[in-house]
């Protein structure tokens, strides 16, 4: 009979596999509409999805190592590096939403400054985001905060290390959430101020674009807040471990399960809030249904003229026969 840890690991692996499939679908849709990659919002969405996809791959390999004989632990330095990759990809997911928020801020507040809306600028910002994340997360490896977890077959910063985990939570969750909150407050304040300005000064198209951007920012904030709330078990386990002196045996499995659910939700919500992706998905499913439904209609439409023509010919033949009969009688 399988143990609870094994059942939890298999469940996590299956959920991660579902998340990987979702992101592969997103990448296929984006590849299909690659002409629209010059759209900055779609570029930033690609950055978020790439971070989430790499996080899924890292988590899948760690879970596989845990379910097997711990192949990641054969080389302990590689194990530390893989733990760094996992944290780096997870951190990049949160900071990628900060870039999306910054782009919406520039579209609404600084829309007159065209250089803030240039495509090349956001290429540089995405590269800078990855460099900053590596610079912030590399010191924990050099300080030897990463270890092989006592209950798992992979390496991470253990929750019992209060100082390193506080640094980790501050960097990973609090800073992105604070940045997004500041951006949203800034946008909201600007929108209220400009609502008093006569409509002749601000074009109607700009107002509509602002409203759409505010809606997207709200959804991003809801998503990040949801992810923070779902991370509360991590904090609870940390506090419990600090008080008791040891962690609950299934702590990392439960946290991994929550992470898997988060990654699936990120993919689904990303499709929902990105108009290009949503249109492509709806077009795919509705196009398939409409094609199946229109085939019999086409056959009916082809038969109808035949029946009409046949009726017309029959009527004409009847008229001709009547005329011939009248001529014969005469």
Instruction: Count structural domains, the chain.
Output: 1
What does DSSP assign to residue 110?
A: S
Q: Do the domain assignments include residue 2?
A: no
Q: Do the domain assignments include residue 318?
A: no
Phi, psi of 199 (to 5 degrees): -65, -20
Q: Which residue has the higher pLDDT, 187 or 321?
A: 187
- Token match 């540089």: residue? 124
Average pLDDT over residues 174-181: 85
Mean of pLDDT over the chain: 79
Q: Do the domain assignments include residue 144?
A: yes
- pLDDT, position 60: 94
Q: Do the domain assignments include residue 179?
A: yes
pLDDT over 90 at 23, yes or no: yes
Lowest mean pLDDT among 165-169, 269-273, 320-324: 320-324
Q: Which residue has the higher pLDDT, 291 or 45?
A: 45
- If we measure between CA atoms, which residue out of 75, 13, 9 comes closest to residue 263? 13
- If we measure between CA atoms, which residue out of 265, 70, 254 comes closest to residue 150? 70
- pLDDT, position 4: 82
Q: Which residue has the higher pLDDT, 227 or 309?
A: 227
CA distances to 56, 216, 236, 277 from 273, rounded to whole Å, are: 21, 7, 31, 8
Average pLDDT over residues 174-186: 86
Distance of alpha carbon 259 from alpha carbon 272, whole angstroms: 20
Band the pLDDT of 242: cuts 50, 70, 90.
low
- CATH code of the domain covering residue 89: 1.20.1070.10
Distance of alpha carbon 179 from alpha carbon 217, whole angstroms: 12
Tokens of residue 38, six digits: 């010059």
pTM of the model: 0.79
Lowest mean pLDDT among 63-67, 191-195, 287-291: 287-291
- pLDDT, position 287: 62
Average pLDDT over residues 175-196: 81
Q: Do the domain assignments include residue 294?
A: no
Distance of alpha carbon 68 from alpha carbon 72, whole angstroms: 10
Residue range of the domain that includes 132: 14-277
Strand partners, 156: 147
Q: Do the domain assignments include residue 217?
A: yes
Lowest mean pLDDT among 88-97, 217-226, 288-297: 288-297
Give the three-state DSSP class for 156.
strand
Give percent of the chain above pLDDT 70: 77
Distance of alpha carbon 36 from alpha carbon 218, whole angstroms: 24
CA distances to 143, 190, 316, 318, 329 from 326, rounded to whole Å, are: 114, 90, 15, 12, 5
Distance of alpha carbon 197 from alpha carbon 193, whole angstroms: 7
Average pLDDT over residues 233-252: 77
pLDDT over 90 at 243, yes or no: no
**Which sign does the torsion angle of CA 217, 223, 229, 235 carry?**
negative
Q: Do the domain assignments include residue 140?
A: yes
Distance of alpha carbon 98 from alpha carbon 79, whole angstroms: 29
Q: Do the domain assignments include residue 312?
A: no
């Amino acid at each position: 009979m399988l143990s609870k840890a094994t059942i939890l690991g298999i469940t996590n692996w299956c959920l991660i596999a579902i998340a990987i499939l979702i992101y592969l679908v997103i990448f296929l849709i984006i590849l299909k509409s690659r002409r629209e990659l010059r759209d900055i919002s779609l570029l930033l969405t690609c950055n978020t999805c790439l971070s989430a996809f790499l996080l899924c791959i890292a988590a899948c390999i760690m879970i596989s190592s845990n379910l097997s004989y711990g192949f990641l632990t054969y080389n302990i330095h590689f194990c530390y590096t893989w733990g760094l990759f996992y944290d780096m990809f997870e951190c990049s997911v949160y900071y990628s939403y900060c870039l999306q928020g910054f782009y919406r801020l520039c579209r609404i507040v600084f829309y007159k400054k065209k250089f803030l809306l240039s495509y090349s600028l956001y290429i540089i910002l995405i590269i800078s985001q990855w460099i900053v994340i590596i610079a912030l997360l590399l010191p924990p490896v050099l300080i030897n905060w990463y270890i092989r977890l006592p209950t798992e077959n992979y390496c991470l910063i253990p929750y019992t290390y209060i100082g390193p985990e506080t640094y980790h939570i501050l960097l990973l969750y609090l800073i992105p959430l604070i940045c997004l909150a500041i951006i949203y407050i800034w946008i909201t304040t600007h929108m209220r101020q400009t609502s008093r300005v006569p409509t002749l000064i601000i074009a109607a198209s700009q107002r509509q674009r602002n409203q759409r951007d505010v809606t997207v920012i709200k959804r991003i904030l809801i998503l990040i807040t949801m992810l923070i709330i779902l991370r509360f078990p991590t904090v609870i386990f940390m506090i419990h471990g600090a008080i008791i002196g040891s962690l609950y045996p299934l702590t990392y499995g439960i946290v991994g399960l929550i992470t898997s659910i988060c990654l699936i939700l990120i993919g689904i919500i990303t499709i929902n809030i990105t108009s290009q992706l949503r249109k492509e998905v709806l077009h795919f499913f509705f196009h398939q249904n409409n094609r199946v439904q229109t085939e019999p209609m086409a056959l009916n439409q082809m038969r109808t003229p035949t029946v009409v023509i046949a009726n017309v010919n029959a009527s004409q033949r009847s008229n001709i026969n009547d005329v011939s009969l009248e001529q014969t009688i005469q």
